[in-house]
Structure 1
Amino acid sequence: MNKLGRKLFVSISVAVLLIFVLFVLLANLFMPKYYIYKTKEQLGEALSAVSELPEATWPEWVPQLEQRYHVTIVYDGAKKSENDLNESFLQQLAKKKVTLNKFWITEDSLEKVKAGSRVNKIYDQGKLKSSFYASFIPKDRYIVLIGLSMAYISDSIRMINGFILILALCSVLIIVLVVWLLSFRMTQPLKELGRVAKDISELRFRKARVGTRDEIGELAESINAMSDKLSAAHADLSRRNLNLRRFMADMTHELKTPVSLIQAYAEGIQDGLDDGSYAATILRQNASMARLIEEFLDFAKIERDELELAPVAIKELFRECAHTFGIELESRRLELAIRDELPGNPVIEADPAKLRMVFHNLLGNAFKYAADGRIDVSFERRDGEIQLVMSNRFSGEIVDASRLWEPFYVGESSRHKPASGTGLGLAIVRTILERHGFRCHAVTKDHTLYVFIVFKENSPHSV
């Protein structure tokens, strides 16, 4: 028997034994008094019935009363002497198979009955191990005795105690069997839950197989749900750790190049090899490194900063951000075509500063890689949500569009191309959108990159 089974067995056994002991004590303490009380009550009912019978015909009802109340009724004339009356009662009782070796109504008791009082007597029969409870009442010209034989209550209590002991032993045997069955049915699912919990603690996520439909089954469902969530969280954390390691490696690579160049050109100046361009190169690499560090800091701050949500007119904010690229559009002869299929000017709940950074990075990335001088943007509603689609043709090849959201991924093998940048722009976009509960994804088709941004319209109003 397992620990839980032993605990159940001991607890239930102790409770049952305490109940039996309490029952025995109560039986020994109150049973005699209760027995006498019930006997007196039974005789009282018979006495009341006799008292209510008509004077002339009441002796005819005696056999029926004896059968109904299980008593013995005898009577004789009230004018008889004490000795004659006692002798008459003994003979009548003997005829009714009630043999008494100790019986006598005293003169004082007899006088009280004749005066109209009820007298109760208990006659102990000694070796017969019984008592005779007798009540005397006057009835017309008679003195009536209504009696009831009682076995010794102590003998009855001993019999009851013996029976209780047998019940206790049988109960203990039944308890052992029942507790074993219950503990088996209860502990097997609990053992399974324990094994599952141990596996989860060792990062082996699996589900418990428990077929019960009780609280243990509900606990198993909760543990299974927890296992699923922990498994997803662990996978996400592993992915984030992998991304972090890759981010650190890429960041080291990105910083190593300008630092190496600054050191090389600084040593060239020190050795007198400067042809007049070394200082400009150092300043350019330093500016590049400062810009890179600033982007690092922005990327690191994105997940820590609290969002300051406010109603944002999304199309208005996008046009404002696009307007800041006006000079670049003219200088590079780029066309930004905005197709608005979204009526009104919907409002969403977002952090305006963060959302402005999203639009700025999306536009900057599109302008940087646009191959045919045209960038298309459309606003539309899909399944109750607002969708922004930005597309542009690109040169070269993007093997996996889903990796565009990863830090330092620039869509090509060379990191030294001047236009490639750091690859942090779209990573910042994804982080901001995910913190808002928005979604983003990218696909490529026929050398065209399509970026989809899905916003939840929290407010049904438009401005």
Structure 2
Amino acid sequence: MNKLGRKLFLSIASAVLLIFVLFVLLANLFMPKYYIYKTKEQLGEAVSAISGLPGPQWTEAIPQLERQYRVTIVYDDWRKRENDLNESLQQQLTKKKVTLSKFWVTDASLKKAIAGSRVNKIYDQGKLKSSFYAGLIRKDDSIVLVGSSMAYVSEAIGMINEFILILAVGSVLIIVLTVWLLSYRMTKPLKELGQVAKDISELRFRKARVGARDEIGELAESINAMSDKLKAAHADLSRKNASLKRFMAGMTHELKTPVSLIQAYAEGMQDGLDDGSYAATILRQNEGLAKLIDEFLDFAKIERDELERRPVAVKELFRECAETFSIELAAKRLKLALRDDLPGNPCIEADPDQMRMVFRNLIGNAVKYAAGERIDVSFGKLGDEIELRISNRFAGEIADASRLWEPFYVEESSRHKELSGTGLGLAIVKTVLDRHGFRCHAETEDQTIRFYIGFKEKSPRSA
């Protein structure tokens, strides 16, 4: 038997045995007194019934009263002599199958009864192992004796004690069997839950298989839900840790290049090797370094700042951002083809400054890496979402489009000096959209890359 089973057994068995012991003590202490009290009460009711009956009717009611109160009733003329009266009463008792070895109504008891008092007396029958409890009253010209035989209470109590002992032994056996079954049914799922909790603590996330529909079942459901959430949180944390490592490595790489160039050209100027272009190169690298640091700060600020959500006309904000790229589009002879399949002027609930950053980064990324003559943009409806689609042709290869959202991810095939960037633009887009609860997805096909952004439209009721 396991620990829980032993605790249950000891607790229940101790409680049962305590109840039995208390019962035995109470039976031995109070049962004799209670037995006498109930017999006296029964005789009192019979005597009261006789006293309340008028005239000769009480003698006719004796058989009914004896059956009703389970007593024996005899009577005789109170004017008889003491000896004759006692002999007569004893003969009547014998006829009613009440044999007494010790019985005598004394003169003092007769005088009290004749005077109107009720006399109660217990006649111990010695070897017969019984007693006779009698009540004596006067009724008209008669002395009436109402009595009831009592067995020795000590023998009855002894029999009860033996029976209680048998019950106690049987109860303990039943308790052992019951507690074993209960503890097995209870501890089996608890043992399973304990093992699951241990596995979870060791980062082996799994679910408990408990079919109980009670509190243990509810506990199992809670542990399973906790396991799922911890598994998801652990996977997310592992992903973020890996992303942080890549971020730190990328940041180090991106910072090292301009810092090294600045140092090299500064040392060249110090050694008198400047051909007139060193200062310009240092300024250009410093400008790029400042821009890189600004992007770092923007990326860190996104996670830290609170969102200031308010209604934003999504199409108007996109057009506003697109207009800022008119010079770059003209320089690269690119056309931004905007198709609007979305009626009206729908609004979304978002932070306008951060959404402006999203649109600028998306358009800037398309302008920088576009290899064709146009960038296709369209607004449409997909289910209950407003969907923005941006696509353009590109040079080189992208093995995994899902990695485009990672910080500092720039495909090697596209790492040309004039095109290289920090790779933070799309990472900022992904972070902002995730914080807003908006959908984003990227895919490539036949040298064409497509970005899909899904916005939840603001309900007119909440506008």
Query: Above 0.5 in TM-score?
Result: yes
Does the CA-based 8 Å contact 2:396-2:413 persist in structure 1? no
Conservation of the 8 A alpha-carbon contact between 2:396 and 2:414: no
- Worse-matched range after superposition: 435-444 or 123-132: 123-132
1:330 alignment counterpart? 330
AA of the residue aligned to 2:313: A
Task: Tell me by how many angstroms 1:222 deviates.
Answer: 1.6
Please name the residue that 1:356 is paired with.
356
Question: Where do 5+ consecutive residues of structure 1 fail to align?
Answer: none
Shift of residue 161, structure 1, vs aligned partner: 2.4
Q: Which moved more, 1:40-49 or 1:74-83?
A: 40-49
Structure 1 residue 303 displacement after superposition: 1.5
Return the alpha-carbon distance in structure 2 between the equivalents of residues 255 and 368 of structure 1: 21
Contact between 2:346 and 2:457, CA under 8 Å: does it hold in 1? yes
> Is 1:270 paired with 2:294?
no
Give the C-alpha shift of residue 48 in structure 1.
4.5
| 1:172-201 residue CA offsets vs partner (Å, 9 max, x unmatched) | 221111111111111111111111111111
TM-score under structure 1 length normalisation: 0.93
Q: What secondary structure is seen at the aligned counterpart in 2 of 1:312?
A: strand
1:383 counterpart residue number: 383
Distance 1:76 1:301 in 2: 117
Which residue is equivalent to 2:419? 419
Residue 456 of structure 1, CA deviation: 1.6
Structure 1 residue identity aligned to 2:334: L
Q: In structure 2, what is the equivalent of residue 433 of structure 1?
A: 433
Contact 1:347 1:461 in 2 (8 A): no
Same amino acid, percent of matched pairs = 77
1:220-251 Cα distance to aligned partner (Å, 9 max, x none): 12211211221122122112211211222222
Please state whether the residue corresponding to 1:413 is helix, strand or coil. Answer: helix
What SS is found at the alignment partner of 1:282?
Answer: helix
Q: State TM-score, norm by structure 2.
A: 0.93
Matches within 5 A, 1:195-274: 195-274=195-274
Q: Mark the CA change 1:111 to 1:457 in structure 2 (over 3 Å): closer, same or farther.
A: farther
Residue by residue, what CA displacement relative to the aligned partner does 1:312-350 show, whole Å, maximum 9, x if unpaired?
A: 222222222223223333343332232222222222222
Match of 2:317 in 1: 317
Instruction: Give the letter aligned to residue 195 of structure 2.
Output: R
- Aligned partner of 1:85 in structure 2 is 85
RMSD: 2.2
Contact 1:345 / 1:462 at 8 angstroms: preserved in 2? no
Which of 327-336 and 290-299 deviates more? 327-336
Instruction: Trace 1:37-186 onto structure 2 (pairs within 5 A).
Output: 37-51=37-51, 55-56=55-56, 58-186=58-186
Aligned residues between the structures: 463
Separation in structure 2 between the aligned mates of residue 77 and residue 53 of structure 1, nearest angstrom = 18
Q: Which amino acid aligns with 1:197?
A: A
Q: Determine if contact 1:379/1:388 at 8 Å carries over to the other structure.
A: yes
| Partner residue, 1:396 | 396
- For 1:106 and 1:457, how far apart are their aligned partners in 2? 111
Residue in structure 1 matched with residue 281 of structure 2 by the alignment: 281
Q: Show CA shifts across 1:188-221 (max 9, x none).
A: 1111111111111101111112222221122112
Distance 1:298 1:365, change over 3 A: same
Q: Which stretch has the larger CA shift, 318-327 or 146-155?
A: 318-327
CA contact (8 A) 1:344 1:462 kept: no
Deviates more, 1:442-451 or 1:105-114: 105-114
| Equivalent AA in structure 1 for residue 166 of structure 2 | I
Q: Deviations over 1:416-446 (max 9, x none)?
A: 4322311110001101111111110011223
Matched to 1:84, the amino acid is D
Instruction: State the 1:295 CA deviation.
Output: 1.2
Native 8 Å contact 2:397 2:413 kept in 1: no
